[in-house]
Amino acid sequence: MRQSQLFTKTRREIPADEVSQSAQLLIRAGFVHKEMAGVYSFLPLGLRVMKRIIKVIKQEMETLGAVELFLSSLQDPTVWQSTDRWRDDEVDIWFKTKLKNEAEVGLGLTHEEPLTRIMKEHITSYRDLPRYVFQFQTKFRNELRAKSGLLRAREFLMKDLYSFTATAAGLDEFYEQVAKAYERIWRAVGIGDQTYRAFASGGAFSKFSDEWQTVCTGGEDTIYLAKDKSMAINQEVFTKEVLAELGKKPTAFEEVRAIEVGNIFKLGTRFSEALGLLYADETGQIKPVVMGSYGIGPARVMATIVELHHDAQGMIWPKSVAPFEVHIVELNPKNSRAVSDEASELAKQFDGQGIAVLHDDRDLRAGEKFADSDLIGIPVRVVVSEKTMRAGKFEVKERAGTRSELMSTKELVKKLSTR
């Protein structure tokens, strides 16, 4: 990808209406465009990062044996009325509208009800169980406040996985498999060291649910993290009763700010009983299907990565989710054909090795190019100039490092293939 063809432009000024560090950097670097409060469009660089995060999540979902589908955004009120979740006094973050015929519809904020109704056509016997399905779907939530960038949006992408099992024991087993998959996801995208499984409220579904909270000063949530890092508890359930049940004392915890990057719920039979999702067991007895739900917001994960991985100059993307692996910066003030050809040839070699490259071929001063490179945060920067050509090498600097070094093509390819 030539940077001259990438319509995204960087900004030096900090967006005045953004308070989160991640939103400021993502907008300045041209990864996202703010449409309105809580609503963002993803530009080419941001979309590449999003797709890489989705790929990590999708691989783990498929490893669990889940299959992908895609449900509608427009929602039929009748299915939600069955569970009493259409009323505004029950769920106050609906986006509702009307069709031309005055029929009311909603924009999906989650998908337990419509999916349960669909599964009635596919589950009737114990032989049909278990079933695990997931999707990446846009959610709409009419949040009262949306001022934390991608960390709290009104329109956002969500990975939601749903499990359908015959028994509570089957749910428990799969639940823990998902928990392990989540841990692998956090490690893969570069936030594993700061992300903890936390006890949280189960709401109407169960006594507890589980959240994954990434400790970060820019987080909206407050959690209590055990000083030995063995346990975390969301503020909403940090009570004497819960601590007594867990056999812990308040002094064993410290209060920290965090970002919720994922959650899992044991739904039990609430939705299957309300919507009639039943199955016949081995004896012919009719029973309700046992359900669970498991969510991750890829855009929130993206913002969380930025919150953890940045410095005063800009973002520092982990290799696993970076928009490109290498940023070739061509310094060519005299418009030398030789420098341009050398940079293009290097980009071609990387491409042949399966290494994604952004080639800065723009006619700008070196200082502007280096500032943009630091802001965008691609893991490795390679400078091609008349000076490096005379040396017969390239100037190489890791975004997370402080020093550059001269390398031959062979040394550079070896370095990148072993990172």
Q: Which domains are assigned to the chain? A: 3-308 (3.30.930.10), 326-418 (3.40.50.800)
Residue range 228-259, pLDDT digits in tens: 999 999 999 999 999 999 999 999 999 999 99
Residues in the chain: 419
204 or 198, which is more confident: 198
- Quickly state the pLDDT bin for 272 (edges 50, 70, 90): very high
Per-residue pLDDT tens for 75-128?
Answer: 999 999 999 999 999 999 999 999 999 999 999 999 999 999 999 999 999 999
Q: How far apart are CA 98 and CA 376, in angstroms?
A: 42
| For residue 206, pLDDT beyond 80 | no
pLDDT of residue 285: 98
Residue type for position 172? D
Would the pLDDT of 397 be above 70? yes
Across residues 7-17, what is the average pLDDT?
87
Q: What is the chain's mean pLDDT, rounded?
A: 95
Contact call for residues 310 and 316 (beta carbons, < 8 A):
yes
Half-sphere CA count of 125, side-chain side, radius 13 A: 5
Q: Quick check: 61 pLDDT over 80?
A: yes
Contact 52, 84 (CB under 8 A): no
Whether the predicted pLDDT of 17 surpasses 90: no
| 54-60-66-72 Cα dihedral, nearest 10 degrees | -10
How far apart are the C-alpha atoms of 413 and 74, rounded to whole Å? 49
Residue 416 pLDDT class (50, 70, 90 cuts): confident
Higher-pLDDT residue of 410 and 397 is: 397
- In DSSP terms, which residues pair with 209 in a beta bridge? 200
pLDDT, residue 63, reads 98
Max alpha carbon distance in the chain (Å)?
83
56 or 17, which is more confident?
A: 56
Angle, helices 168-189 vs 44-63, to 10°: value is 140
Q: Is 326 exposed, middle or buried (0-12, 13-18, 19+ CB in 10 A)?
A: buried
A 10 A CB-CB count for 17 gives 10
Average pLDDT over residues 173-179: 98
The pLDDT of residue 419: 66
Closest CA to 353 of 306, 403, 409, 313: 409
Q: CA 58, CA 54: separation in Å to the nearest integer?
A: 6
In 144-274 the beta strands, taken as DSSP E runs, fall at 155-165, 195-201, 208-215, 221-226, 232-234, 253-268
At residue 149, the pLDDT reads 85
Does the pLDDT value for residue 204 go beyond 80? no
Q: What is the pLDDT of residue 203?
A: 77
Q: Which two tokens stand for residue 145?
A: 């406040």
Which range among 73-87, 199-213, 295-309, 375-389 shows the weakest confidence by mean pLDDT?
199-213
Residue 37 pLDDT > 70: yes
**Residues above pLDDT 90, as percent of the chain:** 87
Residue of 50, 86, 269, 305 lying closest to 187 (CA atoms): 305
